């Protein structure tokens, strides 16, 4: 039996990682791996018409926790305001502290180019926090930890220059668990501005076809990791 892994998926808002990499997270959960989601903001500015934004923020938190619970994992939500995520070392160190506590083998976050400022900033925050977390000379409450593998998920808002590099397949059981978890999120099932559920369900089928799997999700990797190593032209 392979050694169990811990995956930390970090999004700008509640729902980002659940949509873009939730099928793979569900698959790892069913394999016995530990899944943790971190949202740097709640994503409360998508509040439904007529609903109080603070109440919706609390609803979003419950939705994140419900998704994580279905995967047997943990949801962490920071208190920064949606659309106003600060570009500071303090935020980076907070993420660094989460990395050191969770000790992930794998990090997943946003691609660098996005129509949404919080997504782009989250990409840079996570990359810097991964660096800070890895060095013992950045003295924090917890010891250093290096998350060896870093992936960027495929999000419709982060499409500029996004070229899928890695395809990760998953089966029907993982798909069903993922969709069950997504159904906890109001905006996924009720948004009138974008049909999130059908888009990501269809994308999982398309990427699955390309990967010769039932379903799949695509990821990019840091440029320095784009190396195929083998002993010959085989």
pLDDT at residue 89 in the model: 97
3-class SS letters over the chain: CCCCCEEEEEEEECCHHHHHHHHHHHHHHHCCCEEEEEEEECCHHHCCCCCCHHHHHHHHHHHHHHHHHHCCCEEEEEEECCCCCCCCHHHHHHHHHHHHHHCCCEEEECCCCCCCHHHHHHHHHHHHHHHHHHCCCCCCCCCCCCCCEEEEECCHHHCCCCCCCEEEEECHHHHHHHHHHHCCCHHHHHCCCCCHHHHHHHHHHHHHHHHCCCEEEEEECCHHHCCCCCCCCC
pLDDT score of 5 more than 90: yes
pLDDT at 166 over 70: yes
Q: Which residue has the tokens 């303090």?
A: 90
From residue 40, give the alpha-carbon distance in Å to each of 209, 211, 215: 33, 31, 28
User: Does 1 have pLDDT greater than 50?
Assistant: no
Over residues 34-59, the pLDDT tens digits come to: 999 999 999 999 998 889 999 999 99
Report the pLDDT value the prediction gives residue 57, as an integer from 0 to 100.
97
C-alpha to C-alpha distance for 36 and 74, rounded to whole angstroms: 5
pLDDT digits 0-9 by tens, 190-210: 999 999 999 999 999 999 999
Single pTM value for the model = 0.96
Domain parsing of the chain, residue ranges: 6-225
- Identify whether the C-beta of residue 122 lies closer than 8 Å to the C-beta of residue 85: yes
Q: What is the pLDDT of residue 195?
A: 96
For domain 6-225, the CATH class is alpha beta
Separation between Cα atoms, residue 23 and residue 31, nearest integer Å: 13
At residue 21 the predicted structure's pLDDT band, cuts being 50, 70 and 90, is very high
The least confident of 17-26, 92-101, 225-234 is 225-234
Return the pLDDT at 230.
Answer: 87
pLDDT at 117 over 70: yes
**Half-sphere CA count of 154, side-chain side, radius 13 A:** 22
Per-residue pLDDT, averaged over 114-130, amounts to 97
Instruction: Please list the residues that pair with 84 across neighbouring strands.
Output: none
Q: 165 pLDDT exceeds 60?
A: yes
Place 147 in a pLDDT band, splitting at 50, 70 and 90.
very high
Q: Over the chain, what is the mean pLDDT?
A: 96
């Amino acid at each position: 039996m392979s050694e169990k892994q811990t995956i930390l998926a970090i999004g700008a808002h509640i729902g980002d990682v659940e949509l873009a990499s939730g099928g793979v997270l569900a698959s790892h959960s069913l394999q016995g791996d530990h899944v943790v989601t971190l949202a740097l903001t709640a994503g409360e500015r998508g509040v439904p018409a007529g609903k109080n934004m603070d109440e919706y923020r609390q609803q979003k938190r419950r939705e994140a926790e419900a998704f994580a619970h279905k995967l047997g994992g943990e949801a962490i939500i920071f208190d920064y305001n949606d659309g106003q995520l600060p570009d500071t070392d303090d935020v980076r160190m907070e993420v660094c502290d989460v990395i050191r506590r969770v000790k992930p083998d794998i990090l997943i976050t946003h691609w660098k180019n996005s129509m949404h400022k919080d997504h782009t900033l989250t990409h840079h925050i996570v990359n810097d926090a991964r660096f800070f977390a890895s060095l013992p000379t950045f003295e924090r409450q917890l010891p250093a930890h290096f998350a060896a593998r870093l992936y960027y998920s495929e999000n419709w808002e982060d499409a500029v220059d996004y070229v899928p590099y890695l395809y990760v397949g998953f089966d029907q059981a993982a798909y069903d668990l993922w969709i069950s978890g997504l159904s906890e999120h109001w905006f996924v099932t009720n948004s009138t501005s974008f049909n999130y559920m059908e888009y990501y369900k269809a994308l999982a089928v398309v990427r699955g076809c390309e990967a010769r799997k039932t379903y799949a999700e695509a990821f990019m990797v840091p440029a320095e990791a784009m190396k195929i190593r083998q002993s010959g032209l085989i």
